[in-house]
Amino acid sequence: MQLSFVFSFLLLSASFTVGGIIPFGKPAVSQRADVGQKLVFSHFMIGVVSDRTSAAEYDDDMKRAKEYGIDAFALNIGTDNYTDTQLDFAYESAASNDMKVFISFDFNWWNSSSDATAVGQKVAQYANKDAQLKVGEKAFVSSFAGSGLDTATVRAAAGLDLYLIPNFNADQDLSGLDGAMNWIGWQNDGNNKAPSGGNTVTVADGDNAYLNALGEKPYMAPVSPWFFTHFGAEVEYSKNWVFPGDLLWYARWTDILRLAPDYVEIITWNDYGESHYVGPLASKHTDDGGSKWVNDMRVHLITRPHNGWLEMAKPFIAAYKAGETDVGPHIDSDQIVYWYRPTPASTDCDATDTTMEPADNSTGNYFMGRPNGWETLTDSVFIVPLLTAAGTVTVNSGGTVYNIDAPAGASSWSVPMGLGAQAFSLSRDGAEVISATSLKEIKDECVCGIYNFNSYVGTVPEGPSDPLGEDGLTALTTGLKTACEAAPSLPATPPATVAPTATGTATAGPTAA
Ligand SMILES: *[C@@H]1O[C@H](CO)[C@@H](O)[C@H](O)[C@H]1NC(C)=O
Ligand SMILES: *[C@@H]1O[C@H](CO)[C@@H](O)[C@H](O)[C@H]1NC(C)=O
Ligand SMILES: *[C@@H]1O[C@H](CO)[C@@H](O)[C@H](O)[C@H]1NC(C)=O
């Protein structure tokens, strides 16, 4: 409903190997997911990787996703002239990396009234490739939006068995589908914006609407970490809002373990412009203008080059696929994952922000200044310890120190954000186990002049930065009101911690989104 490029509805077919969970030693290319097998997908925007020139340029994404337990990418396609080239590369890379993929038709671009035949034909073009996800013998196909699509025509045009799990609205006719996907992974007002004026629709409300509408049919549930987009008049798709994020990523995964839906889709792998990417910044991609709030905003672990949010999700993915509710047994080393916005909400960027002028608002998505919904985010540092045994997690947020008695397994916490350096450590029996100071300070300052409500994510142990590549920075300066270099700018070494001046008490996080 609100993505900047493309979204999805599709089917997949062909063979399928789920990393490590298929018990029999059949050749990978002949394996298919079993009907009823729980699978995790991540939404992958083909529209942001039009600059890729080979299948090999997909290899890192495929390997990385698979390593975290993601079974397939939902390849979101519009109708651009590079689509087939990139789908060919993606299918080829997936096949050589023992990953699976399926097409997710984006009905911002495909027409649900008139494109049913074209959708079926596009499915047919790819569904017999080795990397196509199949459930049983049926090719998996999904979408973004697409309610009303004539599924009988799609199936006839495809000419093969489809497993159709598109993102139709729950109140539409779902009878022609094999299941349905819910896109709305964020608490909202029922009208695609953050809750306000007493209107609150929770993510669980969305789950219930779909589960009621689907009956026994499979449900694909959304999981998303964040949402912030901030496009001004410098582009044609001006839009500026947030959904409540904060500890959503943890709370929602906790929900998922209890709910145990048939399928889970992580929204997204690489939609940088809406800040809900969990894949790496370094993944080769173009710049829709989102680099203004994406540059420097994720880091990787040093020991294993992993993204913090994916790192947090890893034991949850494993537990979900095993039908378990306890992530503890899936945590094999101590880690702390943390995240926070780079500035407090009170920082005033009105004089230099890129959304202070009128812009096209035919979508109703454009707001001036701080993003619509900003009041629904708290000025906090969020902490998720993933521990092999109970320990004390110490957070120094700009000089205020918090000692957290963290249990074994996963837990979530927040502390008020303090300006300056952010330092984290774990100790047991008085001895430090791991520690790191974040490369990103919280500042009362408008980086590149703008309101940046994206989230920085770090891990302890700390790792090298995950820099945007050249192609991902091409539009950084477009429309900016202040001088700002289009280059990664995190320091190589962390800032000095702030000498402790006070202590505080951390708040335990929610366990339901
Ligand atoms: C693809 O479309 C773009 C934008 O419309 C155009 O500039 C480009 O020349 C087209 N490329 C091909 C190979 O047709
Ligand atoms: C979709 O196709 C229908 C039927 O051809 C047409 O009336 C409608 O205008 C199209 N929608 C868009 C957004 O192009
Ligand atoms: C854009 O449209 C929405 C929906 O009508 C409205 O709430 C918002 O105030 C508008 N934005 C601007 C800048 O006028």
**Model confidence over 386-418: pLDDT tens digits?**
999 999 999 999 999 999 999 999 999 999 999
pLDDT for position 16: 32
Helix or strand (DSSP H, E) at 466: none
Which of the four pLDDT bands, split at 50, 70 and 90, describes residue 303? very low
N-to-C CA span, the chain: 20
Which of the four pLDDT bands, split at 50, 70 and 90, describes residue 255? very high
**What ligand 3 atom has the least distance to the C-alpha of 359?**
13
Type of residue at 195: P
Cα of 89 vs centre of ligand 1, distance in Å, is 18
Residue 256: is its pLDDT beyond 60? Answer: yes
Residue 494: is its pLDDT beyond 60? Answer: yes
pLDDT for position 69: 97
**Domains, the chain, ordered by start:** 32-286+304-310 (3.20.20.80), 335-508 (no CATH)
Q: Whose CA is nearest to atom 12 of ligand 3?
A: 367
Type of residue at 211: L
pLDDT digits (tens, 9 = 90+) for 111-120: 999 999 999 9
pLDDT digits (tens, 9 = 90+) for 14-31: 233 333 333 333 333 345
Structural Rg of the chain based on CA atoms: 22
Q: Whose CA is nearest to atom 12 of ligand 2?
A: 111
pLDDT for position 29: 39
pLDDT digits (tens, 9 = 90+) for 412-466: 999 999 999 999 999 999 999 999 999 999 999 999 999 999 999 999 998 667 8
Share of the chain above pLDDT 70, in %: 92
> How would you write 238-254 as a 3-class SS string?
CEEEECCCCCHHHHHHH
| Cβ 136 under 6 angstroms from ligand 3 | no
**DSSP summary character for residue 315:** H
| Cβ–Cβ < 8 Å for 341, 451 | no
Lowest average pLDDT, out of 12-26, 137-151, 288-302, goes to: 12-26
Lowest average pLDDT, out of 252-266, 303-317, 416-430, goes to: 303-317
* Full DSSP string of 88-148: HHHHHHHHHTT-EEEEEEETTTS-TTT-HHHHHHHHHHHTTSTTB-EETTEEEEEEES-TT
Work out the mean pLDDT of the chain and round it to a whole number.
92
Residue 243: is its pLDDT beyond 70? Answer: yes
| Cβ 363 under 6 angstroms from ligand 3 | no
Name the one residue in this structure whose structure tokens are 């196509």. 132
Query: What is the C-alpha separation between 395 and 270, in angstroms, rounded?
Result: 30
| Cβ 111 under 6 angstroms from ligand 2 | yes
pLDDT for position 301: 46
